[in-house]
Structure 1
Amino acid sequence: MKEIFVERRERILRVAIKSNNELIESIVEESKNEPIIGEIYKGRIKNIIPAINSVFVDLGLDKEGYLYYSDELKAKGIKKGDDILVEVLKEPLNDKGAKLTAKVSIPGKYIVLNCYEQGIEFSKRIEDKEKKIELLRNIEPLKDVCITVRTEGANVDINILKNEISKLYDEFQNIDKKMKHSLGVRKIYGEDLTLTKLLMNFSGEEIIKIYVDNSIDFDKISSFAKGQENLKIEKYEGYRKLFDFYGIEKEILRLRHNKVNLQCGGYIVIDRTEAMYVIDVNSGKNIKEKSFNKTILETNLEAAREIGKQIRLRNLSGIIVIDFIDMRDKSQRDIVMDALKESLRLDKGNVKIFPFTQLDLVQIARKRQGKSIYEYMEEECSLCKGRGIILKLSYIEGLIKNDIVRMQEESSINCFHIQMDSVYKDRIRENIFEFMKEIDGLDKEIYLNYVDNIEGYKIEPLIFQGQKDNLKDYKVTVIEKY
């Protein structure tokens, strides 16, 4: 059985997925004034530059997006000031705006609707001609959209396909209405896109238990799950955060470590550069096999399985390069490649794996979906000019709040001593009230001091008066709070 945990904060949506009580995937999406892959906008053409074959589009956001000035667009005679329907292909990077396309589509699990096109098409992987004929007999073409049957769509009941087509067509009609009648430029499709895509991938026969911590997501997911008996939804009503209550927070924190040990005695190391992620495979203490070739194959095989798991757990995206241990027997490459592909098989539509290079390197391109755990949890250290990484202060505040709530539930304690790493000292002192508010400490006795070189923070409950007396110089006063 799979479990999905959906935790929403003011501007952050976090989703964790467990299979047989093991964490297998984590996704973080932050609400901000930037476009996300898959969103659809009513935009307005700001400029056309034929010299670089580019069209710049106002999306109503901080940065303009851009798209390729194709022959098709030229034939349509588009001009500056025209409204245009566009979909986000790539998110903004540094000073560069989002990459867009005018070929807009609405994806489902089994069907894709291509907006303002006609006909019925099939995935190239569907080769069964009789199956295609059967589908063409049973699926009615629709006005202003082309229906594309995805690979998995060839293997499900026709009524399931029809139901999904109906849902997606409702979405298209809503987009069409907004495109024609709404005023100004704005996003017209893609609210909570990460959650929607996730739910679509898990619709089917497998039993899925979904935990949510707010009424809006509960109602939204309940509406989506209507008629799907495999989706069971439970609303979490506790005061502690959902991830903290179910122990997921601790599991995610452990993912910060870049070294992952393998059962065979080897290990992998996951490093980040500005351009890519690099994963190095090492044999380590794996000396069980007498044959050197067997040792290499065993380590590489186990590493391939673990790498697929870690990519999804850490939500790594972009370019990922894997440096496997050199294989003298080149036939072993196919075995390792099969294991790597299998480990990423469930990451549908998001991953492209390239063949081994002569140096036993494998390159993976993975589509971005939300933030990686590093982007969400970490920030550059101001003391070392960005050469090191520390936990975000906002993330630590959430952890401290979880600890305070848990200790209160367990023993009704209302007084706490918190030690913070000195790197956060100036930022906390600049706005002590905001810090106290975020840790839920405004109505509590908090003793706060700063210590060099600790991992973020330490917290302990204060039970005896003697403890408080010893720490009196660190007490946060009422004046500081308010």
Structure 2
Amino acid sequence: MNKKIIIDANFPSETRVVLLGQSNNIEDIEFQTTVRQQNKGNIYLAKVTRIEPSLQAVFIEYGMDKSGFLPFSEIHPNYYNLPTSERNFPVNAFPEIALSNITVEDDKEKPAAIYDSLVDSEEIDLKTIEDLVESKFQSELNLEAADDIEIIQSGTPESNIPQYKQYKVQEVIRKNQILLAQVTKEERGNKCAAFTTYISLAGKYCVLMPNKGSQNGISRKISNGEERKRLKDILNKIVSGDKNAYSVIVRTAGRGSSTLDLKKDYNYLARLWNKIRKSTIKFSAPCFIHEEDSIIRKTIRDMCDHNVKEVVIQGQEGYEDASKFMQDLLPSELAKLKEHKSKTPIFTQFQVEEQLVKLYQPVVTLPSGGYIVINPTEALISIDVNSGKSTSEQNIEETALKTNLEAAKEVAKQVKLRDLSGLIVVDFIDMSEAKNRKIIERSFKEFLSRDRARIQTGNISQFGLLEFSRQRLRSSFLETNSAICSHCNGKGVIRASDANAMLILRTIENEIFEERIDVINVFTNIVSVIYILNNKRAEIKFIEEKYNIKLNFYSDPNATSDSYSIEKVKLLKKDDNNVNAVKPVIQNHSADYTAEELKKEQLRKNKHKWKTTNNSNNIANEVKDKSLEAKESVEQIVSVVEEVKVVESNAGLEEAQAAPKKTKRRYRNKTSNKKHPSNTVEDMEKNAES
């Protein structure tokens, strides 16, 4: 009795729970936030919205934004729309809703139309189908009781499989039919939640399955023959005295429990099920019926055993909830409950916070000086083992064996704490002796046996790789507590400064090659601008002289590390007599400007240092290589504007021809169409000198 359960419920928006072992090391962690609610185990009164024969499944509406996925194998036969003469199974589950609340619409869709609706649907893609169909083979009826329920499923030959294989989903299920369904898999990304109609309610010592008939069972992890026989006799006595005869499975935690404990747990779950049944009559689908226990209650229910010395809770509301739950279900364990009243945060006092910070890091150090590196990818999770500074052993083989043993223990711990799931590959240090590889394999399987998730392991291959798969219980720690980087978009790397600079210059050349351009403005982040101006002056000069253009570089605070945008400006000549003159055009409302207004507009733009082609002086300076100075009078500008007005009045197309052809092409994460400060080459040089 040296373990502790530490619960931080100080903030209502987040509740964190850890199980501490020796030296206050974290052995398990649970957390729940109001932002990302966990729906697994919740029960809903749902309505069938779409039937998919190609998947042999239905989509249901249950009150959330997305539809739910329900495989045909997870639909109880009591919901089948069959004549009474064809029913060869007992009707003892959900009599209130099984057939009385069915609303049927004629489904006259042809198979081709159904296929088209599947392909064109925005809810389904290839990965979604693969992930959802996988739930057909991983029918997890409850998060905490997954290992126990698996036993009863594999050990009952008279299961529901022969029933649903006799029919097709489109033959026995109708659109708008009402179902009572339980969430077995959470929503994840664009993938919708998976459901089952085989309801399961988990207690401290047993699991109640109300629509499984009277199929009782014992957890496979209880291996002692005498203990299994004792528990089976207790179950038979409990069930025989109940007219409803629900199916009951004794969980691993029920090992050594008394008849009174099992009976009390069974009665608690039976009352809960009756409450759920009554709720289905009061409400209409789709609606929420039952919520799985809170994280505090689940922790006390599943973790609080004879090995736990105390349960310490910070937060008055959480403490009261735990106290009430333990009084009802575990009165004998109530003495272990304590409230943390110190001003020091509970996770800080037990040195938990610093251990949680390490879960964000990919590198985990080992006691002997080695380390492991955890890298999640799209297809699998790779874990690399390195000896690092470990040099205490006499030879390479002994060093590899010791480091691999430490790594095997740490990998089993990390996959549990970080909730890593799917295919996981561990690259152990190569060992030449076969007996050492067998030692690692046996030790690794022993460490993994403490995990409640279903795990399948292989052997170490000739390349030193060991593959194993772990059941997904929920989203991983990083998925829940991290977001995609806004700079690299989740890639983990960005383009180098030199590569980004050359990409911009090559893009400029491509733009010039497509059409004749006089001025090109480049908008990118300040780091790239400084790098280009300091290291690519020769390339800039070469492009300007070769194509007779002007390049301007501007810093854009909204640009990411390797994004940029290019603005192209083409300036038309005024006439043949004055080829160097630029025909200025004030955007849209140029004809309405007076001399005084033009002067004020020019002063305003110079004050804020905005770069614009509306200012005729700035345009003339760029085209004539600064040969025209700012000493042109406002009267000259007004005369040009009046000339433009005359031309526009004589020809309707003159305005379009007189306007500068200005296009902007965006690349990658383009910035919004805003004006940018005039950070030209000259301005940047002046700033650098200052």
Q: TM-score, normalised by structure 2?
A: 0.51
Deviation at 1:58, TM superposition (A): 0.9
CA distance in 2, matches of 1:44, 1:223: 35
Deviation at 1:56, TM superposition (A): 0.6
CA distance in 2, matches of 1:223, 1:338: 43
CA distance in 2, matches of 1:136, 1:160: 11
- Show CA shifts across 1:413-436 (max 9, x none): xxxxxxxxxxxx99xxxxxxxxxx
Q: Do the aligned partners of 1:211 and 1:236 also contact (CA within 8 Å) in 2?
A: yes
CA distance in 2, matches of 1:283, 1:308: 18
- 1:58 maps to 61
Deviation at 1:4, TM superposition (A): 2.1
Aligned: 1:329 with 2:331: no
Q: Do the aligned partners of 1:28 and 1:376 also contact (CA within 8 Å) in 2?
A: no
What SS does structure 2 have at the residue aligned with 1:140? helix
CA distance in 1, matches of 2:52, 2:435: 51
Aligned: 1:107 with 2:202: yes
What SS does structure 2 have at the residue aligned with 1:205? coil
Aligned: 1:362 with 2:364: no
Q: Do the aligned partners of 2:420 and 2:470 also contact (CA within 8 Å) in 1?
A: no
* Within-5 A mapping of 1:78-477: 78-123=173-218, 125=220, 128=225, 130-131=229-230, 134-141=233-240, 142=242, 143=244, 145-226=246-327, 227-229=331-333, 232-237=336-341, 241-244=345-348, 246-348=350-452, 350-356=453-459, 358=461, 359=463, 360-369=465-474, 372-388=476-492
- Show CA shifts across 1:156-204 (max 9, x none): 3232222222222222222222223234433333344443332222233
Deviation at 1:347, TM superposition (A): 2.8
- Show CA shifts across 1:388-438 (max 9, x none): 49xxxxxxxxxxxxxxxxxxxxxxxxxxxxxxxxxxx99xxxxxxxxxxxx
In the TM superposition, structure 1's runs of 4+ consecutive aligned residues that sit over 6 Å from their partners are none
- 2:4 maps to 3
- 2:72 maps to 69
Give the alignment partner of residue 45 of structure 1, picking from 40, 44, 48: 48
CA distance in 2, matches of 1:317, 1:140: 37
What SS does structure 2 have at the residue aligned with 1:177? helix
The worse-fitting range, judged by mean Cα deviation, of 57-66 and 22-31 is: 22-31
Q: Do the aligned partners of 1:111 and 1:164 also contact (CA within 8 Å) in 2?
A: yes
Q: Do the aligned partners of 1:42 and 1:186 also contact (CA within 8 Å) in 2?
A: yes
What SS does structure 2 have at the residue aligned with 1:81? coil
Q: Do the aligned partners of 2:239 and 2:245 also contact (CA within 8 Å) in 1?
A: no
CA distance in 2, matches of 1:231, 1:82: 49
Q: Do the aligned partners of 2:239 and 2:246 also contact (CA within 8 Å) in 1?
A: no
CA distance in 2, matches of 1:124, 1:138: 18
Q: Do the aligned partners of 1:5 and 1:211 also contact (CA within 8 Å) in 2?
A: yes
Q: Percent identity?
A: 29
CA distance in 1, matches of 2:35, 2:207: 27
Deviation at 1:217, TM superposition (A): 1.8
Deviation at 1:124, TM superposition (A): 6.5
Pick the structure with greater CA Rg: 2
- 2:588 maps to none
- 1:444 maps to none
Task: Specify the code of the residue in structure 2 equivalent to 1:302.
Answer: E
Task: Specify the code of the residue in structure 2 equivalent to 1:355.
Answer: G
Which sections of structure 1, spanning at least 5 residues, go unmatched? 390-424, 427-482
Q: Do the aligned partners of 2:76 and 2:198 also contact (CA within 8 Å) in 1?
A: no
Deviation at 1:327, TM superposition (A): 3.6
- Show CA shifts across 1:110-161 (max 9, x none): 3111122221421363673743653345332441621122345354323222
Deviation at 1:60, TM superposition (A): 0.3
Q: Do the aligned partners of 2:218 and 2:231 also contact (CA within 8 Å) in 1?
A: no
CA distance in 2, matches of 1:337, 1:318: 19
What SS does structure 2 have at the residue aligned with 1:234? strand
- Show CA shifts across 1:277-323 (max 9, x none): 32111222333333443332222111111112222333334443322
Q: Do the aligned partners of 2:201 and 2:207 also contact (CA within 8 Å) in 1?
A: yes
Which sections of structure 2, spanning at least 5 residues, go unmatched? 82-171, 494-556, 559-690
- 1:18 maps to 20
Q: How many residues align?
A: 389
Whose strand fraction is larger, Structure 1's or Structure 2's? Answer: 1
Deviation at 1:38, TM superposition (A): 2.3
Aligned-residue CA RMSD (Å): 3.0
- Show CA shifts across 1:21-66 (max 9, x none): 2222222223347653322222121122223211111110111111
CA distance in 2, matches of 1:327, 1:110: 44
Distance 1:161 1:72, change over 3 A: closer
Q: Do the aligned partners of 2:213 and 2:245 also contact (CA within 8 Å) in 1?
A: yes
- Show CA shifts across 1:74-104 (max 9, x none): 7454322222121222212222211111111
Q: TM-score, normalised by structure 1?
A: 0.72
What SS does structure 1 have at the residue aligned with 2:360? coil
What SS does structure 1 have at the residue aligned with 2:338? strand
CA distance in 1, matches of 2:471, 2:457: 11
Deviation at 1:361, TM superposition (A): 1.6
